[in-house]
A = this chain, B = another copy of it.
Amino acid sequence: MAANTFGEVFRLTSFGESHGPGIGGVIDGVPAGVRLDLNQIQQWLDRRKPGQSHLASPRKENDRLEVLSGLMNGITTGTPLAFIVWNADQKSADYNHLEDVFRPSHADYTYQLKYGIRDHRGGGRSSARETISRVVAGAIAAQYLNMFGIEITGYVSAIGTIELPHYLTDLPMKENIEKSLVRCPIEEYSDRMQGLIEQTKTEGDTLGGVISCHIQGLPGGLGAPVFDKFHADLGKAMLSINAVKGFEYGSGFEGVKRKGSEENDRFVMESGRVKTLSNRSGGIQGGITNGEEVYFKVAFKPVATIMQDQETVDRKGNEVVMKAKGRHDVCVVPRAVVIVESMAAIVCLDHFLRNKVFSRE
A75 to B262, CA, bound (A): 37
A324 to nearest B CB, angstroms?
10
A265 located at the interface, meaning its Cβ lies under 8 Å from any Cβ of chain B in the complex:
yes
Residue A65 at the chain B interface, CB threshold 8 Å: no
Given contacts A16-B68, A82-B16, contact A311 B266 (CB under 8 A): yes
Complex contact A258–B313 (CB within 8 A): no
User: Given A205-B260, A256-B301, A317-B269, A1 and B4 touching (CB < 8 A)?
Assistant: no
| Residues of B close to A36: CB separation below 8 A | none
* Docked-complex contact B239 and A232, CB < 8 angstroms: yes
Query: Which listed residue, B106, B203, B303, touches A285 by the CB 8 Å rule?
Result: B106
Q: How far does the Cβ of A162 sit from chain B's closest Cβ, in whole Å?
A: 9
Contacts A104-B264, A256-B299, A300-B256 given: A3-B228 contact, CB under 8 Å? Answer: yes
Instruction: Specify how many copies of this chain sit in the oligomer.
Output: 4
B residues less than 8 Å from A11 (CB atoms): 1-2, 5
Bound-complex Cα distance A289 to B111 (A):
10
Q: Are B4 and A226 in contact (CB under 8 A)?
A: yes
Pick from A70, A264, A266 the residue with the most CB of B within 10 Å: A264
A239 touches B246 (CB 8 A): no
Asked if residues A69 and B256 are in contact (CB atoms below 8 Å), the reply is no
10 extra A-B contacts, CB within 8 A, seeds A16-B80, A251-B301: A15-B70, A32-B115, A32-B360, A77-B119, A104-B265, A247-B247, A248-B253, A259-B306, A260-B306, A261-B308
